[in-house]
Amino acid sequence: MVSEASYRIRRPEVVSERFEGEAVVVNLRVGRYYALSPLASELWARLEAAPRPEALVAASVDVWSDPAVAERELQSFLDRLVAEELIERVEGLAGSDMVEPLPPLDDPRLEFEAFDDLQDLLVLDPIHDLDEDGWPAIPDPADLDGGR
């Protein structure tokens, strides 16, 4: 059974971007990045709204056509995202009930691949602060020259 908790992306240390239907997710705290499969990328986009698990299952019925399979696949995927510290379970979070249905895809696998080849660069980059979305903040030029 899918957990009663809602899930949310661990901001600001986790950032993501979609490229041609696939997402790349970066955990800036641990210096690891992930390439998500097309279906996983679609689900990641739905996680932006901190959905309730039941809403994710309802949005996934067309992918697997069996709610029990959808629950099992989604819970496994969510558990792996939690283990990788990309999302977190939040008890009592009033998650969204409105989740756009996942599109039917030829490949119903929820997969991602982790990479740590840039770990040293991502973790040891002390030259920037992050904005509320987790991206490098561009300093105000007035702050750089002492306000002159």
Number of Cβ within a 10 Å radius of residue 130? 14
Number of Cβ within a 10 Å radius of residue 6? 23
Provide CB contacts within 8 A for 137, sequence distance 6+.
Answer: 128, 129, 130, 131
Choose from 9-23, 82-96, 131-145 the range with maximum mean pLDDT.
Answer: 9-23
pLDDT at 87 over 90: yes
Q: What are the sequence ranges of the domains in the chain?
A: 6-125
Q: For 52-74, write each residue's pLDDT tens digit.
A: 888 888 888 788 878 888 889 98
For residue 126, say if its preceding peptide bond is cis, omega within 30 degrees of 0: no
Q: For 14-56, write each residue's pLDDT tens digit.
A: 999 998 878 999 998 888 899 999 999 999 998 888 788 888 8
